Amino acid sequence: MSPASRTGIVHPVVGFVRVALVTMLVVGVGLLAAIVTMHFAIHGAEVKIPALKAMTVADARSQAAGLGLNLDVDNRYYSSDVAAGHILTQSPAPGTVVRREWHVRVSESLGPQQVDVPDILGKDERDAALTLRRAGLTVGTTSHLPDARAAEGTVLAQDPPAHARGIEGPSVGLLVAAPPDAADGFLMPDLKGMTLEAAQAQLAHVGLKMDPPSFVDAYIPPVGASGSAPKPPVAPNSVLLQQPAAGSRIDTSAPVKLTIAR
Protein backbone atom coordinates (compact mmCIF):
# COMPACT_ATOMS: atom_id res chain seq x y z
CA MET A 1 0.00 0.00 0.00
CA SER A 2 1.37 3.41 -0.98
CA PRO A 3 1.94 6.10 1.58
CA ALA A 4 -0.74 8.25 -0.02
CA SER A 5 -3.28 5.46 0.32
CA ARG A 6 -2.36 4.85 3.91
CA THR A 7 -2.74 8.52 4.86
CA GLY A 8 -5.93 9.12 2.71
CA ILE A 9 -4.26 11.90 0.72
CA VAL A 10 -5.23 12.06 -2.99
CA HIS A 11 -2.41 12.74 -5.42
CA PRO A 12 -2.79 16.24 -6.96
CA VAL A 13 -2.76 14.86 -10.53
CA VAL A 14 -5.58 12.41 -9.74
CA GLY A 15 -7.63 15.20 -8.17
CA PHE A 16 -7.15 17.43 -11.19
CA VAL A 17 -8.30 14.67 -13.54
CA ARG A 18 -11.41 14.07 -11.47
CA VAL A 19 -12.30 17.78 -11.48
CA ALA A 20 -11.71 17.97 -15.22
CA LEU A 21 -13.94 14.95 -15.86
CA VAL A 22 -16.75 16.39 -13.72
CA THR A 23 -16.43 19.76 -15.46
CA MET A 24 -16.57 18.15 -18.91
CA LEU A 25 -19.61 16.14 -17.86
CA VAL A 26 -21.42 19.26 -16.65
CA VAL A 27 -20.51 21.16 -19.83
CA GLY A 28 -21.64 18.23 -22.00
CA VAL A 29 -24.98 18.01 -20.23
CA GLY A 30 -25.42 21.76 -20.65
CA LEU A 31 -24.64 21.61 -24.35
CA LEU A 32 -27.02 18.71 -24.84
CA ALA A 33 -29.78 20.59 -23.06
CA ALA A 34 -29.09 23.67 -25.16
CA ILE A 35 -29.23 21.64 -28.40
CA VAL A 36 -32.51 19.99 -27.38
CA THR A 37 -33.97 23.35 -26.38
CA MET A 38 -32.88 24.94 -29.65
CA HIS A 39 -34.32 22.01 -31.63
CA PHE A 40 -37.72 22.39 -30.03
CA ALA A 41 -37.55 26.17 -30.29
CA ILE A 42 -36.84 26.03 -34.02
CA HIS A 43 -39.03 23.12 -35.03
CA GLY A 44 -41.75 24.06 -32.59
CA ALA A 45 -42.10 27.34 -34.51
CA GLU A 46 -42.43 25.58 -37.87
CA VAL A 47 -45.63 24.40 -39.48
CA LYS A 48 -46.70 22.73 -42.73
CA ILE A 49 -48.95 24.69 -45.06
CA PRO A 50 -52.32 22.87 -45.31
CA ALA A 51 -54.27 22.26 -48.52
CA LEU A 52 -56.83 25.07 -48.67
CA LYS A 53 -58.12 24.82 -52.25
CA ALA A 54 -61.92 24.44 -52.54
CA MET A 55 -62.40 25.33 -48.86
CA THR A 56 -64.55 28.33 -47.99
CA VAL A 57 -62.55 31.43 -47.14
CA ALA A 58 -63.94 31.35 -43.58
CA ASP A 59 -62.90 27.70 -43.05
CA ALA A 60 -59.49 28.30 -44.61
CA ARG A 61 -58.92 31.33 -42.39
CA SER A 62 -59.93 29.33 -39.31
CA GLN A 63 -57.59 26.44 -40.18
CA ALA A 64 -54.72 28.80 -40.93
CA ALA A 65 -55.22 30.65 -37.64
CA GLY A 66 -55.22 27.33 -35.76
CA LEU A 67 -51.74 26.65 -37.15
CA GLY A 68 -50.50 30.13 -36.34
CA LEU A 69 -50.64 31.32 -39.97
CA ASN A 70 -52.11 34.45 -41.53
CA LEU A 71 -54.45 34.20 -44.53
CA ASP A 72 -54.53 37.01 -47.11
CA VAL A 73 -57.06 37.07 -49.98
CA ASP A 74 -55.05 38.72 -52.76
CA ASN A 75 -57.35 38.36 -55.76
CA ARG A 76 -60.82 37.29 -56.81
CA TYR A 77 -61.57 35.57 -60.10
CA TYR A 78 -64.55 34.08 -61.92
CA SER A 79 -64.59 30.29 -62.05
CA SER A 80 -67.04 27.79 -63.47
CA ASP A 81 -65.39 24.95 -61.51
CA VAL A 82 -65.07 26.36 -57.97
CA ALA A 83 -68.09 27.73 -56.13
CA ALA A 84 -68.19 31.38 -55.09
CA GLY A 85 -66.54 32.10 -51.75
CA HIS A 86 -64.16 29.13 -52.02
CA ILE A 87 -60.38 29.11 -52.47
CA LEU A 88 -59.10 28.92 -56.06
CA THR A 89 -55.31 29.02 -55.56
CA GLN A 90 -52.84 29.34 -52.71
CA SER A 91 -49.21 30.23 -52.16
CA PRO A 92 -47.08 28.64 -50.69
CA ALA A 93 -48.14 25.21 -51.93
CA PRO A 94 -49.57 22.61 -49.51
CA GLY A 95 -46.88 20.77 -47.55
CA THR A 96 -44.42 23.67 -47.60
CA VAL A 97 -42.73 24.10 -44.19
CA VAL A 98 -42.76 27.69 -42.97
CA ARG A 99 -42.45 29.52 -39.69
CA ARG A 100 -45.49 30.47 -37.68
CA GLU A 101 -47.01 33.87 -38.46
CA TRP A 102 -46.27 33.25 -42.17
CA HIS A 103 -48.69 34.85 -44.64
CA VAL A 104 -50.53 32.43 -46.93
CA ARG A 105 -51.84 34.20 -50.03
CA VAL A 106 -54.97 32.86 -51.71
CA SER A 107 -57.36 33.81 -54.50
CA GLU A 108 -61.11 33.55 -54.02
CA SER A 109 -63.63 32.28 -56.54
CA LEU A 110 -66.48 34.54 -57.59
CA GLY A 111 -68.27 31.60 -59.18
CA PRO A 112 -69.34 31.67 -62.84
CA GLN A 113 -69.45 35.06 -64.54
CA GLN A 114 -72.99 36.37 -64.20
CA VAL A 115 -72.47 40.07 -64.85
CA ASP A 116 -72.71 41.74 -68.23
CA VAL A 117 -69.81 44.07 -69.00
CA PRO A 118 -71.43 47.46 -69.68
CA ASP A 119 -70.53 49.69 -72.60
CA ILE A 120 -68.78 52.72 -71.10
CA LEU A 121 -67.14 54.15 -74.24
CA GLY A 122 -67.73 57.89 -74.48
CA LYS A 123 -68.70 58.22 -70.81
CA ASP A 124 -66.96 60.51 -68.35
CA GLU A 125 -64.40 58.61 -66.25
CA ARG A 126 -66.41 59.09 -63.04
CA ASP A 127 -69.68 58.05 -64.67
CA ALA A 128 -67.92 55.01 -66.14
CA ALA A 129 -66.60 54.00 -62.71
CA LEU A 130 -70.08 54.37 -61.21
CA THR A 131 -71.60 52.28 -64.03
CA LEU A 132 -69.03 49.54 -63.43
CA ARG A 133 -69.67 49.51 -59.67
CA ARG A 134 -73.41 49.21 -60.24
CA ALA A 135 -72.72 46.16 -62.42
CA GLY A 136 -70.57 44.57 -59.70
CA LEU A 137 -67.29 45.40 -61.44
CA THR A 138 -64.31 47.55 -60.50
CA VAL A 139 -62.00 49.87 -62.40
CA GLY A 140 -58.73 48.17 -63.28
CA THR A 141 -55.66 49.78 -64.84
CA THR A 142 -56.37 53.30 -66.12
CA SER A 143 -54.15 54.84 -68.82
CA HIS A 144 -54.32 58.31 -70.34
CA LEU A 145 -53.88 59.45 -73.92
CA PRO A 146 -54.34 62.84 -75.59
CA ASP A 147 -57.24 62.98 -78.05
CA ALA A 148 -58.21 66.24 -79.72
CA ARG A 149 -61.61 64.83 -80.64
CA ALA A 150 -62.68 63.93 -77.08
CA ALA A 151 -63.16 65.96 -73.91
CA GLU A 152 -60.70 65.42 -71.10
CA GLY A 153 -61.78 62.49 -68.91
CA THR A 154 -63.74 60.73 -71.65
CA VAL A 155 -63.35 56.95 -71.88
CA LEU A 156 -61.76 56.12 -75.24
CA ALA A 157 -61.37 52.35 -74.86
CA GLN A 158 -62.11 49.59 -72.37
CA ASP A 159 -60.74 46.10 -71.76
CA PRO A 160 -62.57 43.73 -71.68
CA PRO A 161 -65.01 45.15 -74.25
CA ALA A 162 -68.72 45.59 -73.67
CA HIS A 163 -70.74 42.39 -73.21
CA ALA A 164 -67.59 40.21 -73.14
CA ARG A 165 -68.06 36.69 -71.81
CA GLY A 166 -65.58 34.37 -70.14
CA ILE A 167 -63.61 37.18 -68.52
CA GLU A 168 -61.17 36.28 -65.78
CA GLY A 169 -61.53 39.02 -63.20
CA PRO A 170 -64.17 41.57 -62.16
CA SER A 171 -62.18 44.63 -63.28
CA VAL A 172 -62.25 46.69 -66.46
CA GLY A 173 -59.23 48.64 -67.69
CA LEU A 174 -59.81 52.12 -69.09
CA LEU A 175 -58.13 54.39 -71.61
CA VAL A 176 -59.08 57.98 -70.80
CA ALA A 177 -58.62 61.18 -72.82
CA ALA A 178 -56.14 63.55 -71.18
CA PRO A 179 -54.09 66.67 -71.90
CA PRO A 180 -50.79 66.06 -73.75
CA ASP A 181 -48.67 66.48 -70.63
CA ALA A 182 -50.70 63.82 -68.75
CA ALA A 183 -50.40 61.04 -71.33
CA ASP A 184 -48.88 57.89 -69.89
CA GLY A 185 -49.56 55.30 -72.56
CA PHE A 186 -52.33 53.23 -74.07
CA LEU A 187 -54.14 50.24 -72.65
CA MET A 188 -53.99 47.76 -75.51
CA PRO A 189 -57.43 46.38 -76.43
CA ASP A 190 -58.14 42.82 -77.50
CA LEU A 191 -58.24 42.89 -81.31
CA LYS A 192 -58.34 39.14 -81.90
CA GLY A 193 -61.23 38.08 -84.11
CA MET A 194 -61.84 41.59 -85.42
CA THR A 195 -61.63 42.28 -89.14
CA LEU A 196 -58.49 44.09 -90.26
CA GLU A 197 -60.53 47.21 -91.07
CA ALA A 198 -62.21 47.28 -87.64
CA ALA A 199 -58.88 46.86 -85.85
CA GLN A 200 -57.29 49.62 -87.94
CA ALA A 201 -60.21 51.94 -87.16
CA GLN A 202 -59.97 51.31 -83.41
CA LEU A 203 -56.22 51.92 -83.38
CA ALA A 204 -56.54 55.06 -85.47
CA HIS A 205 -59.27 56.40 -83.17
CA VAL A 206 -56.81 56.58 -80.25
CA GLY A 207 -53.86 57.72 -82.37
CA LEU A 208 -51.85 54.50 -82.46
CA LYS A 209 -49.69 53.56 -85.41
CA MET A 210 -49.72 50.12 -87.00
CA ASP A 211 -47.01 48.28 -88.90
CA PRO A 212 -47.99 46.71 -92.23
CA PRO A 213 -49.92 43.57 -91.23
CA SER A 214 -48.58 40.06 -91.75
CA PHE A 215 -50.81 37.58 -93.55
CA VAL A 216 -50.87 33.82 -92.93
CA ASP A 217 -53.06 31.08 -94.34
CA ALA A 218 -56.11 30.51 -92.14
CA TYR A 219 -56.16 27.12 -90.46
CA ILE A 220 -59.20 25.06 -91.41
CA PRO A 221 -59.68 22.35 -88.77
CA PRO A 222 -60.78 18.88 -89.83
CA VAL A 223 -64.25 17.64 -89.07
CA GLY A 224 -64.43 16.52 -85.44
CA ALA A 225 -62.49 13.30 -84.96
CA SER A 226 -62.92 10.68 -82.28
CA GLY A 227 -66.29 12.07 -81.30
CA SER A 228 -64.96 15.58 -80.57
CA ALA A 229 -66.98 18.58 -81.66
CA PRO A 230 -65.66 20.34 -84.78
CA LYS A 231 -64.00 23.71 -84.22
CA PRO A 232 -65.23 26.67 -86.25
CA PRO A 233 -62.82 27.78 -88.98
CA VAL A 234 -60.95 31.05 -88.69
CA ALA A 235 -62.63 33.79 -90.68
CA PRO A 236 -60.48 35.28 -93.47
CA ASN A 237 -59.30 38.87 -92.96
CA SER A 238 -59.58 38.52 -89.15
CA VAL A 239 -56.91 39.25 -86.55
CA LEU A 240 -55.12 36.09 -85.38
CA LEU A 241 -52.30 37.57 -83.31
CA GLN A 242 -51.41 40.97 -81.94
CA GLN A 243 -48.36 42.54 -80.40
CA PRO A 244 -48.44 44.00 -77.74
CA ALA A 245 -50.85 41.64 -76.02
CA ALA A 246 -54.31 42.74 -74.91
CA GLY A 247 -54.32 44.59 -71.59
CA SER A 248 -50.67 45.67 -71.73
CA ARG A 249 -49.59 49.30 -71.81
CA ILE A 250 -48.15 50.68 -75.03
CA ASP A 251 -46.51 54.00 -75.76
CA THR A 252 -48.12 56.02 -78.53
CA SER A 253 -44.86 55.94 -80.49
CA ALA A 254 -44.69 52.13 -80.52
CA PRO A 255 -46.37 50.54 -83.57
CA VAL A 256 -48.85 47.69 -83.23
CA LYS A 257 -48.19 44.49 -85.15
CA LEU A 258 -51.08 42.36 -86.38
CA THR A 259 -51.17 38.93 -87.99
CA ILE A 260 -54.18 38.50 -90.29
CA ALA A 261 -55.80 35.34 -91.65
CA ARG A 262 -56.15 35.10 -95.44
Q: Answer whether residue 4 is part of any domain.
A: no
Asked if 194 and 259 sit in the same domain, the reply is yes
Residue 155 lies in a domain: yes
**Looking at 109, 126, 154, which one is the last position of a domain?**
109
Domain identity same for 210 and 177:
no
- On the question of pLDDT at 13 being above 60, the answer is yes
d(CA 144, CA 182): 7
What residues make up the domain containing 33?
10-43
- Is the same domain home to 238 and 196? yes
CB count in 10 Å sphere of residue 20: 10
Q: Is residue 161 a part of any domain in this protein?
A: yes
Within-domain flag for 1:
no
* The residue type at 128: A
- pLDDT band per the 50, 70, 90 thresholds, residue 230: very low
Residues in the chain, overall count? 262
pLDDT at 226 exceeding the cut of 50: no
Q: Distance between CA atoms of 143 and 207, rounded to whole angstroms?
A: 14
CA distance 155 to 199: 18
pLDDT tens digit string along 145-199?
777 778 889 998 888 889 988 888 899 988 888 876 555 556 677 788 888 888 8
What pLDDT does 72 receive?
93
Residues 218 and 246 in one domain: yes
261 assigned to some structural domain: yes
Reduced to 3 DSSP states, what percent helix, strand and coil does the chain have, rounded to the nearest 5?
Answer: 25, 25, 45
179 and 245, same domain (yes or no): no
**Does the residue 3 lie in any domain?**
no
- What's the confidence (pLDDT) of residue 59? 95
Q: Does residue 181 share a domain with residue 143?
A: yes
Query: CA 169, 121, 238: angle at the middle one, nearest 5?
Result: 75
> With a threshold of 0.95, does the pTM exceed it?
no
* pLDDT score of 253: 74
Q: Are 205 and 183 members of one domain?
A: no
- Banded model confidence at residue 228, pLDDT cuts 50, 70, 90: very low
Residue 195 and residue 262 in one domain = yes
Number of domains in the chain: 4
What's 148's domain CATH number? 3.30.10.20
Q: Are residues 147 and 173 in the same domain?
A: yes
Residue 197 CB neighbour total at 10 angstroms: 9
Q: Which of 10-19, 110-119, 194-203, 223-232 has the highest mean pLDDT?
A: 110-119
Chain-wide mean pLDDT for the chain? 80
Report yes or no on 133 lying in a domain.
yes
Residue 165 belongs to a domain = yes
